[in-house]
């Protein structure tokens, strides 16, 4: 019935697997938990222990393939019709997490894609992790009612259930090699095929947040990837707010000003974001300035 698919890289996923296995066993359904490790540089001994649980397999790739391809490989490996994708650095908010998904499937046979949502714990972390936590709380954690209003823009690959036949029609775009926006492309492809995304209140906590410095660097990579995806017409301003804002300021040549100012002020903005409890406005300013700086058209 249910294949739980977990891509991982340099992370201790054992607590997630133990919690899922406990919930699945209680439900008494056919299930499997499949973990694919994307050629991690760091190994955790705890990860090797979970493979001794019933219906759990841990597979180690011989090279790093990236966030899109690894999810496609997981789906190919799956034996059941329903695929529940979970990021390795998440944990269910509720002990009835699996039960809730099963109840949804039983309540409506027409469902194809179900998103449970992502939350961030309310306790403020230390300063060095504040940026990622604050961004997650303000931008990614959304009330169920808000997600329903914008079902495709509210899609996150960290916690979603999809029928295998539907997944095989879409798949994650294997041409995406850099970090970032692969889930936005996936949601856009679902929309193009008029496949409905159903949102429910069944979140996971994102607990593996990066420190400010790492998150800023990953954001730079994601913006570079966004330009490439835009050049290929895989994403436009309709799907990505940053592109919408960029196109808006280009009409008034403000992007030229930001481009020319970035070499002078960019590092100062980055230092402020990394070392202070900055407002997300500053992070937004950094993103659009960096996009203006590296945009070559």
Q: What is the pLDDT of residue 177?
A: 83
Q: What is the pLDDT of residue 296?
A: 82
Q: What's the rounded Cα separation, in Å, for the pair 146 and 265?
A: 36
Q: What is the pLDDT of residue 297?
A: 63
Nearest to 69 by CA among 225, 184, 187, 173: 173
CA-based angle 6:217:232, to the nearest 5? 75
Residue 286 near residue 258 (C-beta atoms within 8 A): no
Q: What is the pLDDT of residue 109?
A: 85
For CA atoms 49, 51, 56, 58, give the dihedral sign.
positive
Averages of pLDDT over each 10 residues, the chain, 297 residues: 98 98 97 98 94 97 97 98 99 98 93 97 98 98 94 98 98 93 98 97 98 98 97 96 98 96 94 96 97 90
3-state SS, residue 62: coil
Q: What is the pLDDT of residue 5?
A: 99
Residue 88 near residue 7 (C-beta atoms within 8 A): yes
Domains of the chain: 2-208 (3.90.550.10), 213-294 (no CATH)
Q: What is the pLDDT of residue 178?
A: 87
């Amino acid at each position: 019935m249910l294949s739980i698919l977990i891509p991982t890289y340099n992370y201790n996923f054992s607590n997630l697997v133990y919690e899922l296995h406990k919930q699945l066993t209680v439900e008494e359904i056919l299930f499997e938990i499949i973990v694919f490790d994307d050629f991690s540089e760091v190994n955790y001994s705890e990860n090797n222990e979970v493979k001794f649980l019933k219906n759990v397999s841990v597979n180690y790739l011989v090279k790093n393939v990236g966030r899109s391809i690894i999810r496609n490989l997981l789906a190919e490996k799956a034996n059941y019709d329903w695929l529940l994708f979970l990021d390795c650095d998440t944990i269910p908010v509720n002990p009835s997490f699996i039960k809730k998904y099963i109840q949804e499937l039983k309540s409506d046979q027409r469902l194809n894609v179900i998103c449970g949502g992502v939350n961030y714990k309310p306790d403020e972390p230390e300063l060095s992790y504040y940026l990622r936590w604050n961004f997650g709380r303000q931008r990614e954690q959304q009330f169920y009612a808000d997600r329903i209003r914008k079902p495709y823009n509210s899609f996150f690959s960290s916690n979603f259930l999809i029928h295998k036949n539907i997944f095989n029609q879409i798949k994650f775009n294997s041409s995406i090699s850099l970090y970032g926006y692969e889930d936005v492309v996936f949601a856009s492809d679902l929309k193009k095929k008029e496949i409905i995304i159903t949102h429910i209140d069944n979140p996971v906590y994102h607990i593996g947040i990066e420190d400010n410095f790492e998150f800023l660097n990953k954001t730079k990579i994601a913006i570079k990837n966004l330009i490439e995806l835009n050049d290929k017409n895989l994403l436009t301003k309709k799907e990505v707010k940053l592109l919408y804002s960029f196109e808006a300021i280009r009409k008034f040549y403000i992007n030229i000003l930001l481009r020319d100012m970035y070499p002078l002020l960019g590092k100062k903005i980055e230092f402020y974001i990394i070392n202070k409890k900055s407002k997300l406005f500053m992070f937004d300013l950094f993103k659009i300035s960096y996009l203006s700086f590296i945009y070559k058209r």
